[in-house]
Amino acid sequence: MHSVRYLRILRENGDAAFGGSQMWIEDLVMQGAACGIVAGLDRILETAGIENISMEDYMAKLAEAGRYIKPIMLPFKVKTIHTKIGDFMGCFGVSAGRLKRGIRKLGQLYGVDIRLKRIRLSRADEILIEGRKVILLIKAPLGNVSVVPDKGLPTNVGFHWVTAYAQDEDSYKVQSWGREHKILRSDLKNTAVFVVAYEPVIGGF
């Protein structure tokens, strides 16, 4: 299997995160909605040749990215609704259309001509075997897909963007919340689960 590099975000204590995380944002609504922004920004920075970046610089770029890749928000405030898959605070996350449009516009700031091409999961497997990355959108309204870290407890998701960087016959290895995780293929076959894969294409298609 190819060795895949990933954007390293350097903390002041010398530790490095494995890509970005929306959980670093202070706004609670964006903590639950900005996974698509992180996925888009990380792909652009890597394409622009950035392998290491300070936490301070990354957070500034993440705030800027939110002006181009925008979650769908209700036009009015709502009381927090507690559900099995998290708290709903009036935000539906970043839609596929918004990520596709936003990543193109944001890429122009970095001199990167990047677009997202929808592909089959079988094609995503081929790309991952080649040592390239794909972006996955997981829709699981029943919260029955687990994102499992190397250490610690899994997190069940209902609507979540991740970047996959490797695969095997049982799972996808993905970046999420600044760490390495895996998602079991069997989970993606659960009731009401819908998964869409996107290939980041440089120079259009």
CATH number of the domain where residue 157 is located: 3.90.70.10
The answer as to whether 2 is a domain residue is: no
What pTM was computed for the model? 0.91
Domain count, the chain: 1
Residue 147: φ, ψ to 5° = -105, 115
Residue 89 clears pLDDT 70, i.e. is over it: no
Q: What is the mean pLDDT of residues 108-120?
A: 96
CA distance 200 to 194: 20
Half-sphere exposure at residue 23, Cβ-oriented, CA atoms within 13 angstroms: 7
CA distance 42 to 51: 10
Structural domain of residue 76, as residue ranges?
8-202
133-177 per-position pLDDT tens digit: 999 999 999 999 999 998 899 999 999 999 999 999 999 999 999
Confidence of residue 84 (pLDDT cuts 50, 70, 90): low
The answer as to whether 28 is a domain residue is: yes
The answer as to whether 3 is a domain residue is: no
Q: What is the mean pLDDT of residues 2-18?
A: 84
Confidence of residue 85 (pLDDT cuts 50, 70, 90): low
Residue 31 clears pLDDT 60, i.e. is over it: yes
The answer as to whether 190 is a domain residue is: yes
